[in-house]
Structure 1
Amino acid sequence: MDPRIQLLKSFAKPSSEICNSYFSKNAKTWQKADKSFVSEADIKVNDFLLSQIQSHFAEDAILSEESPDNPKRFTAEYTWIIDPIDGTSEFIAGSPEFCVMVCLVHKNKLVYAMVAIPQENKAYFGGPAKSLIELDLLSNKETRLVPKEINSNTLVISKSRAAKEISIFAEECNLTTFSCGSAGVKVCRILQGKADYYIHINKIAEWDTAAPDCLLKSWGRGLTDLDGEELKYNKSSFYHQHFFYLNQSELLQSAQKIFQLN
């Protein structure tokens, strides 16, 4: 096994244990300059991941939500894109719908990723041309996940920030909706067969999309922009304006008519 992938897979259990040790225990929280919240658990997981990567692959770059951006990522062969806790607001509120996300990128191409859901004791691993694996963190049992035939026509949406346009799209396309917290957990609901599609029409960072996108690519098609083009990574501005996971061409065509995005 590639040593970087081997290291990445080793992160699931200890990072989940850190999260669970702080969950529902009044972890210290504060607001960052951008008004988003962070907790001491975010920082502990971030410190753990950075220390592991830097001790094994000091030549690699890191792009993390909880660390300053480093221009080293523009010249390094490998970059690790990290969200120590995706869904910090869920974590702080005592909701189990948060996750730890790590994605390995070669230049600007997604290679392999992990999304771990600590409160469910599950982790998901995969990448382009690689098997999608669900790991039970209690039993260490690995299960290979394969795409399920779409039959529920379910669109996963945000619990708190579902846009009116998305509701209109779902109604016009006869889709049912399923609300969930955290971008990473939403994609895992697709991998679990509980949802089929996902739309996000607001600005979002690469650390929120890299690992979920990489996992979906195990099944072929990942996240796209409104034109159906793959998302780009390791950019100077590490934000996307939106993304879509609509793996039926007629749905994407309907989205192009409804969503007028720049």
Structure 2
Amino acid sequence: MTIRDDHALARDIATEAGELLLALRSREGFDDPTALRHAGDLESHAFLAESLSRLRPSDRVLSEEGTREERLDPRRQTADRVWIIDPLDGTREYGDQGRSDWAVHVALWQRTPHPHPTQASSPGVVNGHGVLVAGAVALPAQGVTLTTASPPEPPAPRQGRMRIAVSRTRPPEFVRKLAYLVGADLVPIGSAGAKIAAVLTGQVEAYVHAGGQYEWDSAAPVAVAQAAGFHASRIDGSPLVYNQGNPSLPDILVSLPDLAPTLLAGIRDVHR
């Protein structure tokens, strides 16, 4: 593995973790999907944690698969650099044969005591304490890794109805009302990373979610989305803030930049 910078590191280890997950899937098969999902979570986490410990030993890590003590470690709150990882985003889909809508997330948050004035007021990932500076989303079963090293360009405007990615198992009811209001179709997709990747690659125009997520569910895809010039915010338009003591981040909107005002206005109307 050749490590040039943080962007390349995120890309390389997310991709390699994805390759390990594909190999595990092939080796173990799908006779016991629960065991396969559990093994995938653990194996990918172990690889990513070891890689970051070896290659960035002074940085902290916030992982979905970390222990409670690791998540609450007060040193993370004072660290200048924190890697936010989801070793297997879409564990349910990973255990289902034939599904490709699961991902590996690797993002780097970095403290910025004095953010640039234009950043501090913009929606997205910037706040008074830190910013996502690098990230990668590997979609191993699709053979794709989206990365801040070479972020995708927003697709050209598309004719026809807007498409909004939603959870295939628990789409929020308000999104159905939003879709009716703005004239959109709902597209069920598995993991959060796969949903945001679908926005970045032009399969849908937006992803709207509310009702429960954590920082590791969105940090890496949001890092790529922001680097590529897409809109990413809370559903009220406020910034997505990362590396908090409580890693809950319950709602999110990622969309083509030109559609964000329409969607935010629609969300406000639905919640009146």
Note whether the superposition's TM-score is higher than 0.5: yes
Gaps of 5+ in 1: 31-36, 134-144
Partner of 1:132: 151
Partner of 2:168: 159
TM normalised by structure 2 equals 0.81
Q: Aligned runs of 1:155-234 on 2, under 5 Å?
A: 155-234=164-243
Partner of 1:142: none
Partner of 2:119: none
1:84 paired with 2:87, answer: yes
TM normalised by structure 1 equals 0.84
Q: Alignment partner for residue 131 of structure 2, among 80, 99, 109? A: 109
1:56 offset after TM fit, Å? Answer: 1.5
**Percent of aligned positions with the same letter in both sequences?**
26
1:2 offset after TM fit, Å? Answer: 5.6
Name the SS of the counterpart of 1:72 in structure 2: helix
1:52 offset after TM fit, Å? Answer: 0.8
Matches of 1:193 and 1:109, distance apart in 2: 26
1:8 partner letter: A
2:155 partner letter: P
1:38 offset after TM fit, Å? Answer: 5.1
1:157 offset after TM fit, Å? Answer: 1.2
Q: Closer, same or farther in 2 for the Cα pair 1:28/1:162, shift >3 Å?
A: closer
Matches of 1:22 and 1:228, distance apart in 2: 40
Name the SS of the counterpart of 1:39 in structure 2: helix
2:5 partner letter: P
Structure having the larger proportion of residues in helix: 2
Partner of 2:145: 123
Structure having the larger proportion of residues in strand: 1
Name the SS of the counterpart of 2:61 in structure 1: strand
Higher relative contact order (CA 8 A, sep 6+): 2
1:22 offset after TM fit, Å? Answer: 2.1
Matches of 1:172 and 1:5, distance apart in 2: 39
Kept after mapping to 1: 8 A contact 2:22/2:141: yes
Residues 23-60 of structure 1: per-residue CA shift (max 9 Å, x gap) = 26146736xxxxxx951111111111111111121110
Kept after mapping to 1: 8 A contact 2:6/2:134: no
1:76 partner letter: A
Aligned length: 240
Partner of 2:115: none
Residues 141-182 of structure 1: per-residue CA shift (max 9 Å, x gap) = xxxx44322434111111111122211210121112211110
Matches of 1:13 and 1:220, distance apart in 2: 23
Partner of 1:52: 51
**Larger displacement relative to structure 2 (108-117 or 20-29):** 20-29
1:221 offset after TM fit, Å? Answer: 4.0
Q: Aligned runs of 1:60-75 on 2, under 5 Å?
A: 60-68=59-67, 69=71, 70-75=73-78
Gaps of 5+ in 2: 112-129
Matches of 1:162 and 1:8, distance apart in 2: 30
